Chains A and B, each alone.
Chain A
Amino acid sequence: MTWRVSFCLRCLSALSALLLSGALHADFLVEVDSRGALEGAVVTARPVDGRVEGPSPPATVSMVQANRQFDPFILPVPVGVPVDFPNRDDTAHHVYSFSPIGSFELPLYKGDAPHPIVFDKPGVVPLGCNIHDWMIGYLYVVDTPWYTQLSHNSARFENLPAGTWEISIWHPAIDHLPTPAWQVTISGTGQSETLSLDFPFASVTQPEPPRERFDERGDY
């Protein structure tokens, strides 16, 4: 299955987004015409001209194992923020990654929530389970406080300060493809821009776990 994707970026309600400081901010909506093929994609924004103070990162983030799947399928993780891996299944998991930005193996018995893992470099951390080998998940470690995820073909940045931004998108379906970054200037006034990813790609979705019955056993 291949999709052609086009991006439509619009500034929404920019005028109403003035904060008390007087600085110009805008809620910023990214729309993707991919018919759900990039659900959960991580969209990041980086200021092109200099550093801008962003929202503070969460204290921790969690990649849960539930119903013999990773939840969520794709988890954005800011650099330096600890990731924990709570196991909410009745069965044990053995979560691993061989990512160049941090490889690990975690034996996780029922109810386990082991020591969190911290990544100090941005990049992709593909996750698997050595016991349930259909389980696939992704951590996407980002080095910007401005990130959001696509849901139903759109992603919203709240209160993006005025200025020129580089917008990028990441999803396992387009991981190895030459995905461009777009420069967008947020002026604080109404504006709309359409950007496009003009190449075909194959859809990647989270695999369903196989059926589970008490009169059947897995074979490994």
Chain B
Amino acid sequence: MVRLLSLAALLAVSVSARAATEEPGFFTHGLTDVQYAWSDSEQSWLKRGPDKLRFDETDQDELQLGRLGLELGYAFDLQSVLKLEANYYLDPDSSLELTEAYFQHRTLGAGSWRSRYKLGVFYPAISMENTGPLWTSPYTISSSAINTWLGEELRAVGAEGRWTWIGDEYNRSKHRFSLFAAMFCCNDTLGAMISWRGWSIHDRQTGVNGTLPIRELPAIVYADHSREFEPFMEIDDRVGFYGGMEWDYARRLKLQFVYYDNRADDTIRQDDQFGWRTKFGQLGFHWQPADSWDLLGQFMRGRTIMVEDVVINDFESGYLLVAKSWGPHRLAARVEYFRIIDVDGNSFDLNREDGDSQTLSYSRLFGRGWKLSLEATRFFSDYAARSHFGETERRTEHELLVSLRYYF
């Protein structure tokens, strides 16, 4: 661990950080995140246990590597940029995961409309929370249940267009109306984690080359499903889509609606993974009544189906986050709930979940890139799948996280 931390420090110092829009050419950014976790969770899902947070009580002996994140890019000019983002983790196994890799072109200038196009692997811009470098949240260490799930399982491998009305060219409006739409592939297994692990809260994002551990649920054993879940697979050669709209007023208020459908064929199985047909709608908002206050939230509801009569789950979650900043200090509080409604009623694969979580986070920025955060989380879940292991379905976890990040 110490060697790794030295490597992280060396990497951070040796890479010359430059802003992406500073001048044409190559640029690099990144962050190192070292964490200490105190947790009363028995065994984390990352170790195939029943608990939902990233760390558990066995992790208290040493410092943890939250991540080593690196963003490499090449700016052709102010309009076109090529970006690659990767994260290195030690848990559950040492892995370097490619989280985003895309080409972006945006139009600047004439007219009342602007457009932005992305081609490659990218996050749909539907998180109100994860607006920091490498899709981190500037408010808390762990993301909300919704965004934890998006970071684990959802990525677009395809093309996205975004068109924004910015008002009359002589007199720019304070209103911005955007429409966006994308076509993508390779997210056909989306839905498995929230069904077979349930909702979770953490800060670990999966790369397109990454896999996630799944417990030996009866359905997994019966179907001889792989014990490593692959979120980013194309198994049916069908194209998925999402689309939405956003209204922004004077950068103070943002309202967004998005509809997503991976259009996966839920009858297909390939390489010991199943197709999961997953659709959802989401409402998101971000209100900044002043520079020092942020109020944001997302509400999502959807359905995932795996082999029509085997798994049909409705899922739903929402959070509200309020953050107050003063100078380099920021205090953020987030409350949320999440549910899985097990519609299929199959007793050999129980997925029902009801839970809620509260997070309180304090952070402070130091100098030109250091950030220290202290975060407390309570996570309660009543998750039926635990009964397959003879465990109590209701569990409450508490976690205290300290994180020291360096952004470069």
Which listed residue (B22, B114, B166, B169) contacts A98, Cβ 8 A?
B169
- Taken together as a complex, chains A and B put the C-alpha atoms of A68 and B376 apart, in Å, by 36
- Main SS class of interface, A: loop
Is there an interface contact between B365 and A213, defined as CB atoms closer than 8 Å? yes
Contacts of A128 in B (CB 8 A): 172
Residues from chain B with a CB closer than 8 A to the CB of A216 are 131-132, 138
Q: Which residues of A contact B116 (CB under 8 A)?
A: 220
List residues 162-194 of chain B with CB under 8 A from any CB of chain A: 164, 166, 169-172
On whether the beta carbons of B78 and A131 are closer than 8 Å, the reply is: yes
- Chain B interface SS verdict (over half): loop
CA distance A219 to B124 in the complex (A): 12
Count B-side interface residues using an 8 Å CB cutoff: 34
**Interchain CB contact under 8 A, B109 and A94:** yes
Residues of B near A107 (CB, < 8 A) are 77-78
Residue B133 interfacial (CB < 8 Å): yes
A98 to B170, CA, bound (A): 6
Residue A126 at the chain B interface, CB threshold 8 Å? yes
Asked if A91 contacts B21 (CB within 8 A), the reply is yes
Chain A residues near B21 (CB, 8 Å)? 91-92, 131
- Whether a CB of chain B sits under 8 angstroms from the CB of A90 is yes
Interface contact A94-B251, CB-CB below 8 Å: no
Q: How far is the CB of A66 from chain B (nearest CB, A)?
A: 15
Of B22, B77, B110, B365, the residue contacting A214 (CB under 8 A) is B365
Assuming A96-B109, A130-B108, A131-B78, is B22 touching A215 (CB within 8 A)?
no
Say if the beta carbon of A157 comes within 8 Å of chain B: no
Within 8 A of A (CB), among B89-104: none
B291 contacts the other chain (CB 8 A): yes
Are A90 and B22 CB-contacts (below 8 A) given A96-B109, A107-B78, A211-B291? yes
**C-alpha spacing A99/B169, complex, angstroms:** 9
Q: Judge if A133 is at the interface, Cβ distance under 8 Å.
A: yes
Say yes or no: A133 contacts B166, CB within 8 Å.
yes
Residue of A90, A215, A219 near B371 (CB, 8 A) is A215
The 8 closest A-B pairs by CB, nearest first: A130-B108, A92-B21, A215-B138, A216-B138, A98-B169, A109-B23, A211-B291, A215-B132
